Chains A and B, each alone.
Chain A
Amino acid sequence: MLILLKYIAKLLKALSSEASPAQIAGGFVLGMIIGLTPIMSIHNLLIVILIIILKVNAGMAILSFLIFSGIAYLADPVFHNFGIWLLEKENLQITWTSMYNNEFWAITKFYNTVVLGSFLIAVALCIPMFPITQLGVVQYRKHIHEKVMKTKAMKWLKGTKLYTIYNTYQRVRG
Chain B
Amino acid sequence: MRIKGLIFVAVITALVFLASWISIDSYIESEIEYQASIANGAVVEIDGFELSLVDLKIRWDRLQIANPENTWENSFETGEAELDFLFWPTLWERVIIEDIIFKDFRLDSERETDGYFEMPVNEDGEGPEPSFIAGVIGDVTSEVSANAETEFLDIKADVNVDSLLAKLNLQAPEKIDSLKHGLEQKYSKWDSTLSNTDINQEIAGIKETIEAIDVKNLKQVDKALAAIQNVQKLTKQVDSLKNKAQTIRNDFQEDFGDARFSVGRIDNWIKNDYDRALKLAKLPTIDAQNIAQTLFGQELFSEYAGYLEYAAIAREYSSKLTGGEDEEKIERFEGKDYKFSDKYEWPSLWIQNIDLSGETKTNIQLAGKITNISSDQSKTKEPIKFDLGGQDDANRSMNLTGEFNYLEEEPRETIRFEYAGFGLAGTKLSPSELLPYELVEGTGEIAAEVNIIDRRIDSEIQYQNKGLKFDFGENPSDGRVQQLIRDAVSSADQINVTALVDNVDGPLKIRIRSNIDNLFVDALKSTVSREVEQARARIENEVQQRIGDRKEELLAFKDEKEAEIRQEYDKLEAKVNEQLQIIEQKKEELEKRKKEIEEELKNKAADELRKRIGF
Chain A residues with CB under 8 Å of chain B are 38, 49, 52-55, 72-73, 76, 79-80, 83-84, 87-88, 93, 96-97, 100-101, 103, 106-107, 109, 111-115, 117
Contact = CB atoms under 8 A, between A and B. Distances in A.
Nearest to B344: A106
Contact of B5 (A53, A112, A113, A115): A53
B8 interface: yes
Contact of A100 (B88, B330, B340): B340
Interface in B332-366: 332-341, 343-344
A79 B88 CA distance: 28
B2 A55 contact: yes
B336 A101 contact: no
A109 to B, nearest CB: 8
A38 B332 CA distance: 10
B340 A97 contact: yes
A142 to B, nearest CB: 28
Contacts of B336: 80, 83-84, 112-113
A122 to B, nearest CB: 14
Contacts of A100: 339-341, 343
B332 A76 contact: yes
Given A49-B9, A53-B1, A111 B340 contact: yes
Contact of A101 (B2, B91, B335, B340): B340
Contacts of B8: 52
Given A76-B333, A113-B335, A52 B340 contact: no
Contacts of B335: 38, 79-80, 83, 112-115, 117
A93 B333 contact: no
Contacts of A115: 335
Contacts, number: 65
Closest 10 CB pairs of A and B: A114-B335, A100-B340, A52-B5, A113-B335, A97-B340, A112-B335, A111-B338, A87-B338, A53-B5, A113-B336
A54 B6 CA distance: 9
Contacts of A76: 332-333
Given A112-B335, A113-B336, A113-B338, A53 B343 contact: no
Most A Cβ at <10 Å: residue of B5, B335, B341, B343: B335
Q: Which of B332, B338, B344 has the most CB of A within 10 A?
A: B338
Nearest to A115: B335
A30 B330 CA distance: 27
B9 A96 contact: no
Given A49-B9, A100-B343, A112-B336, 8 more contacts: A52-B2, A52-B5, A53-B1, A72-B333, A100-B340, A112-B337, A112-B338, A117-B335
B88 to A, nearest CB: 5
A96 B340 CA distance: 7
Given A101-B343, A106-B344, A107-B91, A55 B337 contact: no
Interface in B1-19: 1-2, 5-6, 8-9
Which residue, B1, B2, B340, B341, has most C-beta atoms of chain A within 10 A?
B340
A103 B330 CA distance: 24
Nearest to B330: A80
Given A52-B9, A107-B91, A114 B340 contact: no
Contact of B341 (A49, A72, A97): A97
